Chains A and B, each alone.
Chain A
Amino acid sequence: MSPALQSDVLVIGGGLFGTFTGLFLARAGLRVTLLEKGQIGAQASATNFGNLRLHGRSARQYPLSIRAQELWENYGSLTGEDCEIDRTGHLYFAGGERGETQLRKDVETATRFGVESQLLEGALLRERFGFLSDRIRLAAFSPRSAVANPRLSTPPVARAMVRAGGTVIEGCEMAGFDVTSGGFAVTSTDGRRFEAPKLVNAAGAWSGALAEKAGEPVPMFSAGPPQFVTEPLPHRLHPSVHMVEGDVIVRQIPRGNIIFSGYPRTHSLPSGAFTHVPPAKTLRGMRELAQCIPMLARAEVIRVWSGVEGYLPDMLPVIGPSTTMPGLFHAFGGSGGGFQIAPAVGQCLAALVRGEASPVDISSYGIDRFTERSEVSEKIHLEFDQ
């Protein structure tokens, strides 16, 4: 048997959480090896909608989210590459009364954390965003929010990590791990061995198994939203647009295509390999979109897609140290909001792994929160197939 590859830190999972953690660790001079079962950035990190949305987040998440936006704004200097980041701004609108109440509350929360979110109604709303249907009465605009192309965003982070001295191994699936005197010994399904004193579990929707082996199971489940894309059209829709009730999430990408996401999300297949897009949801989304933005009624849908995303019952990720195994750290379960926070998750986790304080308080994301209390977000009832 060949000797095990030695590192300071092993990262399991080549999505945005894993690669950003690896990048910050490598830049700090640690020998970090990242194992990815398939290809870099090919799952939820690539299939999500690509919003870098600052307002309308859970109050707990603002500090992390603001830190992340700063990092996204410096993506070019961090990675040396581009991933179609565009500061389009983000426009929330209310589809009905429930949404209007929610929207006013969200604007208040954003303002409290210093995030600009402008409430718009009446003539001002018509004048600035005339593409919205006349029946929409209230909206909120966040000028600092942006978008990025999720398909292109992870590989540059992995390449930057390698340039900083890290190692990325694709097509390497973890079969299991042992705790040794020196830390962790990981074996891959094809028999390769890796050893390191520290282990990071960033395996996305597949992280639950590792957490369970560490004796701290989490109530994570996999799901994905019904999404579709139209043919390319002339550029008419600049901000990313989002019905606060979640039925219509839409933006126009640089190529000109309109991309759409909406709720309810669909549960992934039990194998975890795939999430279907039920055609009834596509048809419903098409109708809703045409009602909210009538100029798109003639657009033609060319493809649907979804993704396998990890969700936790309180709709917040798990970020932080293991409570059962010293040296093990978790970062997974983006719960539909993982894309935007990813760079900050990597930065905070890298600090913890190195034994330093996290630059942002992430204590509320601990893995032990499911044993202490079992908070269930109301979103679980509103945004998923029941």
Chain B
Amino acid sequence: MQTDTRIVIVGAGPAGLAAARTLVEAGLRPIVLEESPLAGGQGTRRLSPMTAPHRPALFGASAEAIARREDAEDAVLQQCDFRTGTLAWACHDNRLELLGPDGFDSLTYTHLVIAVGATDRLMPMPGWTLPGVFTLGGAQVALKRHASFIGQKVVFAGSSPLLYLAAAQYLRLGHRDLTVLDTTPASGKARAFPAMLRHEPRTALQGLSLIAELRRGGVTLRSGVRLDRIEGDSRVQRLRYTTARGRDMTAEADAVALGHGLRAETQLAELAGATFAFDPDFRQWFPRTDDMGRAGERLWLAGDSARIGGADAADAAGRLAAQSLLESLGRAADARQVQRNTRRLRKQHGFQRAMTDAFRWPAKQAASLADDVLICRCERVTAGEIRAALDTPSGPIEVNRVKSITRCGMGRCQGRFCGPALGEIVASATGEPPGRLRTQAPIRPIPLVFDAGPIAAEGEDT
């Protein structure tokens, strides 16, 4: 490797690992930064030692293939400078700022691949901040990392393929009180299915077999419902909803997992200089890249953080980004590989685009949310406060000013969870497409002093 080349990959999920693999195969040794303790990503999250004994039950016939893939990933990471527990919290002037197990550090790069994935996209509803409400991703983390269910009576609600996947994983590990409430009507899925089948027949059919598995397992499945409210005294006790035929129903529950598809984690890309374009199908802002994921002179983006596509698309995008990076180093790209992965990526993206019809983001619901529903959990800002600000003369007319006036999106999560709903509420008032909250560092909260020691008892620290 040339001494003046330093390639950094942020994120060791499917996209980051695929990029690392391509670079290692080309004889390079990239630095791979991973915020969590384990490589693997979210959807393809590795099992913790606690959960590992359940591997055969959880993965069934795929267990062996998954184990082989994980071994191959580990072999690649051994050829990299792999740093776990390391957060890249800022990026400025071709330098990443890190917070790792040994404290703050910075890292200058010549080439940067960002592959930090996505989180659940949420549409707030009355009661969604009660203890016992999780994201779909959170429900999976509980299972795979902590070998725990989020509750005894669990409702998976929203509209996302992950509703069915998470429910199936719970079922396979012995959970017997599961309900899936999908807000997209069956007709929407029927309409989207031919296109999904055309782009990715295997995945589309897997979806059908997942639903069949849930039916066989006695899981309650409803689609086309309207989620009305989550109720409980001090934590979740039930979810009230209306069926497609207009009947009021109640699902008793001690835990609810919510999700309306995925939301790209774009903050680091923005700090690294990416610009954004609104995608009307996904109704979210994605960073601009060329066909191979290049977003700047030294910047490549891959996987769900660049554009929602799932694990297979992330793998193809990671390889393409690495090929493009190699080309920029003056190495000839493998034309066949590029062609193959471009085709894979196109198919996956077509599939995901078709899925936005099968699992619809309930954009219009934002307009009908009651005024007292909390939108911003961190700062406790309600839909009514946002609407009042929008109605004020000389008041805000776009999301960043709404944030400035109401504090919506100004808290610990910096709008990562309330941002999509905030965007839709503002859009419903202005008639413009939803706006995008601007990013500033840090990507996650960082302490003033790393490891400041134990907290003194109350009254002793003055």
- Contact at A40–B452, with CB atoms within 8 Å? no
Contact B394 A302 (CB under 8 A): no
Which chain B residue shows the least CB distance to A152?
B405
List A116-152 residues whose CB lies under 8 Å from chain B. 130-131, 151-152
Is A296 an interface residue when CB atoms closer than 8 A count as contact?
A: yes
In the assembly, what is the distance between CA of A303 and CA of B395, in Å? 23
Contact of A75 with B by CB under 8 A: no
**A279 and B461: CB pair below 8 A?**
no
Determine whether the beta carbon of A162 is less than 8 Å from that of B448.
no
Q: Are A40 and B394 in contact (CB under 8 A)?
A: yes
How far, in angstroms, from A151 to B455 measured CA to CA in the complex?
34
* Chain A residues near B326 (CB-CB < 8 A): none
Residues of A within 8 A of B397 (CB): 39, 170
A375 within 8 A of B: no
Given A46-B404, A279-B90, A297-B452 contact (CB < 8 Å): yes
CB within 8 Å for A278 and B93 given contacts A152-B405, A299-B448, A300-B446: yes
- Binary A-proximity of B417-461 (CB < 8 A = 1, otherwise 0): 000000000000000000000001110011111001001000001
Contact status B447-A255, CB under 8 Å: no
Q: Which of B39-47, B355-363, B406-414 forms part of the interface with chain A?
A: B406-414
Q: Which residue of chain B lies nearest to A306 when distances are taken between CB atoms in the complex? A: B440
Per-residue contact bits, chain A 190-231, to B (CB 8 Å; 1 contact, 0 not): 000000000000000000000000000000000000000011
Residue pair A279, B92 in contact (C-beta under 8 Å): yes
Determine if A302 and B106 form an interchain contact, defined as CB atoms under 8 angstroms apart: no
A302 with B449, Cβ < 8 A, contacts A40-B394, A159-B393 known: no
A287 to B397, CA, bound (A): 37
Interface string of A274-285 (1 = CB under 8 A from B): 001111101100
B90 nearest CB neighbor, chain A only: A279
A274 to chain B, nearest CB (A): 9
- Contact-residue bracket for chain B: 35 or more
Write the nearest CB–CB distance from A42 to chain B, whole angstroms. Answer: 6
The closest CB in chain B to the CB of A163 belongs to B393
A303 touches B392 (CB 8 A): no
Chain B contacts for A179, CB-based, 8 A? none
Is A290 an interface residue, CB under 8 A from the partner? yes
Q: Does chain B have a CB within 8 A of A365?
A: no
B448 touching A39 by the CB < 8 A rule? no
Closest to A168 in B: B394
CA of A300 to CA of B413 in the docked complex: distance in angstroms?
A: 12
Bound: A173/B404 CA distance, A: 22
Q: Which of A330-358 contact B (CB under 8 A)?
A: none
Quick check: B405 and A151 within 8 Å, CB to CB? yes
Most buried by B among A151, A158, A162: A151
* Chain B window 73-112, contacts with chain A (Cβ cutoff 8 Å), 1 for yes, 0 for no: 0000000000000000110110101000000101000000
Most chain A beta-carbon neighbours within 10 Å: one of B379, B397, B448: B448
Other than the given A39-B396, A304-B440, 9 more pairs (CB < 8 A) read A131-B462, A155-B395, A168-B394, A276-B92, A279-B90, A280-B106, A289-B448, A297-B452, A303-B441
Q: List 11 A-B contacts (CB under 8 A).
A: A39-B398, A155-B392, A162-B394, A279-B106, A286-B449, A290-B448, A297-B448, A298-B447, A298-B448, A298-B455, A302-B411
